[in-house]
Structure 1
Amino acid sequence: MRAVVVRSFGGPEAVEVVDAEVPEPAARQVRIRVAAAALNPVDAGVRAGVFGGAGKQIGLGWDVAGVVDATGVATAWSPGDEVVALDYGMVKPLGSHAEYVVVDADAVAKAPATADAVHAATLPLNALTAAQALDLLELAPGRSLLVTGAAGGVGGYAVQLAAHRGVEVTGLARQDDAELVRALGARHVTEAAPGSVDAVLDAAVLGEPALAWVRDGGTYVGVIPQAAPAPVRGIRTTAVEVSPDGARLAELAALADEGVLTLRVAETYALDDAAKAHARLAEGGVRGRLVLVP
């Protein structure tokens, strides 16, 4: 099968498409024939060597939408099931940017019924990150939240999920994105005063400057593990480390079917054009996800 990997770190030119053996599922695993797989900023970080692994072949890709192709023992999935999954791992020999991927069965969920595979592939990593970050914030309905990077993949889902929970959301985004962010459910766009919100979900990775918007004793959640700024003014600071969770992913897929979550695709690329997709991601300004199609 074809798979997208890096064997040396660098820019988009480091991305290679290689021939690899089709992986076999072990007990409590499934093999998915990949129909679509989103490209995320974490893939660019892996490609650049941010997470280590020098001297190894590292497979790229965390998101997958496709069809179960084979299963190990002790799984509830069957060949032919249309699914989405999070293929978690910074440094792994193969990722979801391939023709087939093996994942743990409990990381898998039924794909949204109302979306094609390309759109479904934008859900797992970004929506799980947003949902798990909101869990850390523990905001009750009526409380106030500022989401930085509100027009991005994680930020957009965070706006929608928080608004769905009854939280009053302010989205921090470029003026050109104000209409989009309001459509996602933000009550305000870039209108927060210093110390005015109960919490910040920092999808744009602003770090310490984002604390200025939070009231004394509020909460900050970042999206890069072990990278939260030091607490000030009694603000609790932490960061989400996304984890695969098929049951939670099934809930998010259901919210997509209900129209609560918007699955946004910017462009699609053939798997063989993975380096071009990385180059487009590096240019910035992408609204929605770039998706690779084997």
Structure 2
Amino acid sequence: MLAAVVNEFGGPERIELAEVPVPGAGAGQVRIRVRAAGVNPVDGGVRAGVFGGAGQRIGLGWDVAGEIDAIGAGVSGWSRGDRVVGLHYGAVKPLGTHAEYVVLDASAVAAAPAAVDTVAAAALPLGGLTAARALDQLGLGAGASVLVTGAAGVVGGLAVQLAARAGLVVTALAGAEDEALVRSLGAAAFVPRGEAPAEPVDGVLDAAVLGGAALAWVRDGGVYVGVIPGAAPAAERGIRVEEQEVAADGELLGRLVALVEAGALTLRVSDTFPLADAAKAHERLGTPGVRGRVVLTA
């Protein structure tokens, strides 16, 4: 099968389309025929060597949508041909989801939403799980105020929707041109990038990784949650500072799928590219103004 990999770190030109053996499904695993796979900023970091792994072949891709092709021993509840979505966690791995087939633990997958096509479904796993887990870590109740930075991005946009659904009063920080978009996702207030909110908020979900600048907007004793491990600012003024590290969680992913099915969670796709054009997809990911997930199709 074909898989997008890197053998040397660098820019998009370092991505290779390699012929590799089709992986087998081991105990507790399912093999998925990949139909669509999201291209995330973390993939660019892997490609550039941010997460290490020099001297080995590294497979790209975390998000997947497709059909179960093979089932390992001890797996129940799934059948060949079932449409699923899943998260292949891990930065440094020999094969990712940017391939024709991928093997995941059965606990990492959920039934794909029937309400959207496979390409849109591929935009859910990493972004949705990151947003949902970060919102849970905020621990704010209905009526509390939350600022979502990077609110027009994939993670930020999903966080705005989930927070508004949970009854939080959402202020969205994004580019001036994105006000209509973030308000349509459920933001009650808007702050253009480069400006500060008029009043301190109970919590910040820092999808844009602004760090200390975002922390400054939290009231004394509030809460800050970052989305990248190791990037959060030091705590101050009694603010609880936490970092969210995503994990493969089929149960939580299933709950997000249910929201998509109910029309309560909108998935956004910016561009699609065939697997053979993985390098072009990475180039697109690195250009300004991407509003939605870049998706590879296989």
Q: TM-score range by the shorter chain?
A: over 0.9
Q: Give 1:232's aligned residue.
A: 236
1:159 aligns with 2:160: yes
Deviations 1:57-101 (A, max 9, x none): 000000000000001011121101000000101100000000000
| Aligned 8 A contact 1:197 1:214 in 2 | yes
| Aligned 8 A contact 2:158 2:265 in 1 | yes
1-side partners of 2:74 and 2:210: how far apart?
43
Deviations 1:20-79 (A, max 9, x none): 100001100000000100100000000000000000100000000000000101112110
| Aligned 8 A contact 2:173 2:190 in 1 | yes
1:141 aligns with 2:142: yes
2-side partners of 1:70 and 1:195: how far apart?
54
Structure 1 residue identity aligned to 2:93:
K
Shift of 1:241: 0.3
SS at match of 1:232: coil
1:261 aligns with 2:261: no
Q: Which runs of 5+ in 1 are unaligned?
A: none
SS at match of 1:93: coil
| Aligned 8 A contact 1:195 1:216 in 2 | no
1:284 aligns with 2:273: no
Structure 2 residue identity aligned to 1:118:
V
2-side partners of 1:13 and 1:62: how far apart?
20
| Aligned 8 A contact 2:62 2:97 in 1 | yes
Structure 1 residue identity aligned to 2:286:
A
SS at match of 2:219: strand
1:75 aligns with 2:79: no
| Aligned 8 A contact 2:63 2:86 in 1 | yes
TM-score (norm 1): 0.99
Q: Give 2:102's aligned residue.
A: 101
Shift of 1:194: 5.9
Shift of 1:195: 5.3
Q: Give 2:207's aligned residue.
A: 203
Q: Which runs of 5+ in 2 are unaligned?
A: none
| Aligned 8 A contact 1:195 1:212 in 2 | no
SS at match of 2:81: coil
1-side partners of 2:13 and 2:147: how far apart?
36
What RMSD in Å do the two structures reach over aligned CA positions? 0.9
Deviations 1:140-164 (A, max 9, x none): 0000000000000100000000000
SS at match of 1:290: strand
2-side partners of 1:204 and 1:260: how far apart?
23
| Aligned 8 A contact 1:9 1:47 in 2 | yes
SS at match of 2:216: helix
2-side partners of 1:262 and 1:195: how far apart?
29
Question: Counterparts in 2 of 1:1-294, with a 5 A limit?
Answer: 1-76=1-76, 77-190=78-191, 193=197, 196-294=200-298
Shift of 1:113: 1.0
1-side partners of 2:16 and 2:290: how far apart?
22
> In percent, how many aligned pairs have the same letter?
64
2-side partners of 1:221 and 1:285: how far apart?
25
Shift of 1:12: 0.7
SS at match of 2:221: strand
TM-score (norm 2): 0.97
Alignment coverage as a number of residue pairs: 294
2-side partners of 1:284 and 1:82: how far apart?
33
SS at match of 1:283: coil
